[in-house]
Amino acid sequence: MTDVNRAEDRSRNVCVVIPALNEAESVGIVVKEAKAVLPDATVLVVDDGSTDDTAELAGAAGAEVISNPFRLGVGGAVRVGLRYAQSRGHPIVVQLDADGQHDPRDIPRMMRMLDPDGPPQIVIGARFAGAGDVSVPRARRIAMSLLARYMSRMTGERLTDVTSGFRVQNRAAVSIFARTYPADYLSDTVESLVIASRAGTVISQVGVAMRPRYAGRSTQSAWRAGAYLLRVVITLALAVIRRRPTSAEHEEEPL
């Protein structure tokens, strides 16, 4: 109980970033749950060009809402959230899916491992780390365990679920990412960890229970899972050979 209280004390320093695309059915519940766990936190829903009432419902549930002018993808939405948190001076940023698969009640346990003003640090809410239980196709499982093994070796830390969109990060980690968070599909989770790890970020994980999504379908046919495996391998290979990103804003004009 004590760490929950401590987390609540710190909750005004927290910005919960929830990227959302057409999640009207679940986003309100997720926002309310997050607010219940962290009453003083800023809950920010980044609406990534939804065509339903996601933005309105998030606002009605008490979230701050930013609407992207068009779809930027999960990575783009997260980057907007990180930049917002950074500009408003929040030292701790929680990243959470809007479909309800992550339980905000796990946040205090994740925050407990985090030093807000220390060196860059990310805590991943891992869905396969003992707690919870999910059924996914084999190819996807293989892809994820491959990734997990590689990332574990790279970070020297046992990681089991590197594609999780459930993360807590401190100020230093946010400032690494605020301008350069990778925007492409899969890169947003996989490549971001590679970038973070190379920049000296301490990456660790906490087991969390994954709940069935409140809404939305998970895209997991056998074919898709196979294609996913291939994409994972290529994304990872690219992430490893690519240089550290520089922001497009600071890019020099070629002559």
Residue 168 · residue 104 · CB < 8 Å: no
Residue labelled with tokens 């050979």: 241
Binder among 67, 152, 204, 220 for another protein (CB under 8 A)? 67
Separation CA 207–CA 124 (nearest Å): 8
> What x/- string results for residues 32 through 61 when contact with another protein is judged by CB under 8 A?
--------------x---------------
Tell which positions 220-249 bind another protein, by CB under 8 A. Answer: 247-249
Is residue 64 at the binding interface for another protein, with CB under 8 A as the rule?
yes
Question: Cα–Cα distances in Å, from 167 out to 15, 137, 193, 208, 224?
Answer: 12, 24, 11, 11, 25
> How many angstroms separate the most distant Cα atoms in the chain?
61
Is 252 a binding residue for another protein by CB under 8 A? The answer is: no
- Continuous segment of H or E residues that includes residue 20: strand 14-20
The token pair at 210 is: 């994954």
Q: Which is nearer to another protein, 45 or 94 (CB)?
A: 45
Tell me: does residue 74 bind another protein (CB under 8 A). no
Helix (H/G/I), strand (E/B), else coil: 125? strand
108 forms part of the interface with another protein (CB under 8 A) = no
Q: Which of 18, 84, 114, 225 binds another protein (CB under 8 A)?
A: 84
Q: Which residues bind another protein (CB under 8 A)?
A: 46, 64-70, 72, 76, 79-80, 83-84, 87, 183, 247-249, 251
